[in-house]
Each structure stands twice: as C-alpha cells, then as structure tokens.
Amino acid sequence: MLRKNTVHDNSDINIGIIGPKALVDQTRETLKTFPNFKPVFRIIEPTSLIAEITSELMNDVEVLMFTEYHCYNIVKQVVDFIIPVHHMPLMGTGLYRSLFIIKSRYSLKCLSIDTVEEKYVEQILSDLEEVNYELLVYKNPLQSTVIEEIVQFHVDNFQNHNAIALTGIQDVAIQLSARHIPHEWVTPTQQDMIVSLERALLATNTRRNKESQIVFGLINIDNFKGVTEKYSSEHDVQLLKLTIQQMLLDYIKLLDGHLINLGGEEYSFITTRGIFERETRGYKFIPLLQDVKNELGITISLGVGFGRTAAEAGNHARLALRQSKDLGGNVCYIVREDRSVLGPVDITSHKQYERYNLAITDPLLLDKAEKAGMSASYMTKLMARVSRHKKMEYTAQELASTLNVTVRSANRILLKWMDAELVEIVGEEKLAHKGRPRRIYRLSFIEDGKEN
C-alpha cells in the first residue's frame, strides 16, 4: 500500500522569465522540453517598473532569464542579483535570420544597429559574403538613455544614409513601424532559447545536484511466455534472448549506463539523471520501445525511478513498471523522488506525458481503501484517468473500461466502495435509447486525498 510522503518536493526548479509578451509566449513553448523547470512569467510593458518586478521575483525563483538584453542591461545597473541571472543573447541563429531577412527584402549596404554586438554582425556579414557595407552603431550607454533617443538614432540614419535599422528592443521596433522606417527586430530562435535555458539549468544548485543523481530502470518483455511459445526450439528462444539483450545493451550504452539481466523476461539498468534527461529529450523520446517492436515484433514495458537513494530509486522503478504493465505495455512511466508520475512516454503515438501524484497521503483513507478492496493498481489507474481527462465523475461503464474489468464487476466494486464512502452517486445519465439510466459516481476519495 502506498504510504504518506512527507518529504518536501524540490524536484522542480523555479525559473523567472521576464520580457515582452511575444518573447514570453515563445519561451513558454520552448520550456515544454524542460520538464524540471517550473516557470514564473512576468510580461514587461513600456510602463513597467522592471527593477521592482525583478527584485520581487528573485525571492520566489532559483534562476532568472531575461528574454531581451535591453531589459537585463537596465536591471543589472540598479539591482544586486542574489541568484543566477541570464539573458538570451543576440548573437546566434536569431541574428543570422534577421540579417538574412534584411538582405532578402532590402540591402545590407548600410545598417543602423542598437544592442547587437558589432563584431557578431560583421562575422555573419562575412558568412553572407558581404564586403562593401557600413555599420552605424548606437554608442551611448543603453542604461542612461530612453527609447525615444534610440528610435531617433535610427530615424536619422535612415533619412541621412538610407540605413536599415537592426534593433534588439521590441519597443523600438514598434515605434519604427509606426514611422514606417524599414527595420528588423532581432529575436532569439527556438534553438537560441534552448541553449540559453540549458545554461540557466546548469547554473542552479538543484540542477547540479540532480545531474549525478542515480536513475534506476526496469525493462520487462510483455507477454514473454506467449512470445516464446511461438518458437519451436529452445535454441531459437535463446537466440531471441541474446538479440533482445544486445538491443538493450546498445541503448543503455547511449545512456552511459549499466545493464543487468535479472533472469527470464526482466532487466534492470542504472544511469545518471543528467544523461537520461538529455538522451530522452526531456522524457519524451525513448526509441528503444519502437526499435524492439519493429525489429523483433515484440513489445517491452519500461519503468524508471528517481530517488534520493539507490533503494528509493529502485522502489520507484518498480512502481513505474507496474504503471506501464497496467496500461498494456509498450510504454514507459517515470516515478520521481516525490512519487509524482510522468507518463506514458509513448513515441508510437507521440502522446504528451501526463503528470500526477502517485500517493494518496491520508493514512486513514488508505486503510479504508484497502479494507474495501481498492488496490494500489486501481487507485493509480483512476488517478491517472482523472489527471488525463480533468473530471471526477464516471459511469460504471467508463470505470469498467479504465479498470479493465466487466461492467458487472465494476458495479460490484462500486457497491463496496460506496459502503466504504470512497465514491458517491451524484446523478444519472439519461440514454438516447430505451433502457435504465446509468448512475454517475463521483470519485470522492481522490478529492479527500488532495485535501489531506
């Protein structure tokens, strides 16, 4: 039976994201590939007090990320940073993209530049095989100037030299658009953002500790007995086992891990969290599942456990494997150190993993559930369904499908759970055709578990 977990959850890394709405929205999408980041967003308007917003946010996060260098440059003059602070630099593929757009639409013969490093512009212009060009660079310290002054700099250069403006500041780009001045706002590409967020991730104390954390995995061949019955001789069965083991060894080598054959249809492996996260692209890419199915015509279940100790990681891997088997196999589940669950990771259907808490924390509720015959397997299946569909009320038919039992069995189970006050009837579902209305049951035990 799952027990109460009172350990504080420090698995998430709070990161503050500060910038204009367009870049914050772009960062929000990119952060989906960083499952350990728990972002706190602050959108900056022209009238925003950036320094005050930053000072307040620093108390709630472990690392800060400015999406615009201009905002970062202003704040660093007046705020003493007490945590790692980063900005997305204007020197990567985003700058290359902007210069290429200007080359396509206008000309690179004369550019009017602010916030972007002159040397990076020159380097890209050389890559674009531009030779005869002029760069007019805004030289005044940006922290001591106002947006209007930078805008006027670009306007003058356009009127006097027919220069195309290259700016790293959204407010400047907006005002140039209003004045019909040709320009390009340099923004980071998704690749630039990924690189910046990876640097921010590695700068946190939480991340440095997690990089070397032990990850324990269990691999189980689905329906192994049925698979072996298809082979006419023991020799062929042994060849199959050797082929499977070789495929597992090849994959675990990518994880720089260690594989152990536990006998029969089960294997275990050990690696580190940093490598596992990078190779799985943030818990979303496990090609082993599809490779085994394509090459051998069999499926495997994978359970991965994180933990503060090797024993805890091993226990969590067993819980995760149980989730995978209960779902029917050919998937991977992950149980983290706080006993929250990530899954299913299934590259065949490209499903986005769900996240939910594996543990009901009230010991009295757990005891009541056990006496009513509500197994841990039933509990986690129901909790996963609630997490996935965001609803608490179900008919017996829906629960039968979830628990993989007949409707008659589901009705019998529900009666026992009602007697134990784990579920309650909240209404009836009227059918379009003739027949008795279906009762609707509310899974009140999940709400009770959350409240405790």
3-class secondary-structure state, position 258: strand
CA quadruple 295, 300, 305, 311: dihedral sign = negative
| Whether the predicted model's global pTM rises above the 0.85 cut | no
Task: Write down the pLDDT at residue 141.
Answer: 59
Which residue type occupies 378? Y
Under DSSP, the state recorded for 36 is T
Residues in the chain, pLDDT under 70: 1-11, 141-145, 205-209, 346-381, 383-390, 404, 430-436, 445-452
Task: Write down the pLDDT at residue 405.
Answer: 75
Task: Write down the pLDDT at residue 136.
Answer: 93
Cα 323 to Cα 332: distance, rounded to the nearest angstrom: 8
Q: What are the pLDDT digits (tens) for 320-332?
A: 998 888 778 888 9
Cβ partners under 8 Å of residue 389, min gap 6: none
Structure tokens at 345: 């990771």
Cα 11 to Cα 35: distance, rounded to the nearest angstrom: 10
Of residues 142, 38, 55, the one with CA closest to residue 90: 142
Q: How many CB atoms lie within 10 A of CB 422?
A: 21
Task: Write down the pLDDT at residue 236.
Answer: 87
Q: What burial class does residue 6 get, using C-beta atoms within 10 Å of its C-beta: 0-12 exposed, 13-18 middle, 19+ buried? A: exposed
Q: What are the pLDDT digits (tens) for 416-434?
A: 888 877 788 887 776 655 5
Of residues 54, 5, 12, the one with CA closest to residue 31: 12
Cβ partners under 8 Å of residue 9, min gap 6: 338, 340
Task: Write down the pLDDT at residue 325.
Answer: 86
Q: How many helices (H) and strands (E) does the chain have?
A: 19, 18
Task: Write down the pLDDT at residue 348.
Answer: 44
CA quadruple 210, 213, 216, 217: dihedral sign = positive
Task: Write down the pLDDT at residue 347.
Answer: 47
Of residues 222, 221, 190, 227, the one with CA closest to residue 27: 190
Q: How many CB atoms lie within 10 A of CB 404?
A: 12
